Amino acid sequence: MALLPILRFPDPRLRKVAVPVNKIDNGIKKLAADMAETMYEAPGIGLAATQVDVHQRVVVIDISEEKNDLLVLINPEITEMDGLAIGEEGCLSVPGIYDKVERAEQVAVRYLDLDGQQRVLKADGLLAVCIQHELDHLNGKVFVDHLSQMKQGRIKTKLAKQARVTA
């Protein structure tokens, strides 16, 4: 396994729409394992392939405290959304920035697992938010897109300043 570099907002590669995975082979399985290792190391609770500059529809999520409940979603598609929840979100591609985002409270997602089996998962709470957040990445969106233009401008300025300080 290997740690992968995480793209940082406003990198234009974060805007690429991911393409479906045609075949779940050893390359996809290695990608999922590397993404999981990267997510745990960051540390985070979700990571989309787009964030590591791989533009295929693969997501890893683990919201467990013990970091032992990895969920790999290949070609995920939200089939149902219900309710409304507003919660604070952050993102590994937008380090140090947190803000309130409106999401569906409950979702159902259809996806393939690493064995190529089609699955449906119904989720609520943090898992539902995480699924929506990561699928946004696969569609070329970042959580700050849900914020006002003014907030987006402030975030870009703050991240540019951080980049200059650490460079």
- By annotation, the residues acting in catalysis are 134
Q: Is-cis flag, bond preceding 20, omega within 30?
A: no
Residue pair 76/138 in contact (Cβ under 8 Å)? The answer is yes
**Token output for 15:** 């805007």
Contact criterion met (CB below 8 Å) for 92 and 42: yes
Instruction: Considering only the C-alpha atoms of the chain, give the largest distance between any 2 of them, rounded to a whole number of Å.
Output: 46
- What residue has token string 């693969």? 58
Distance, CA of 63 to CA of 150 (rounded, Å): 31
Are 158 and 147 in contact, with CB atoms under 8 Å apart? no
CB 35 within 8 A of CB 21: no
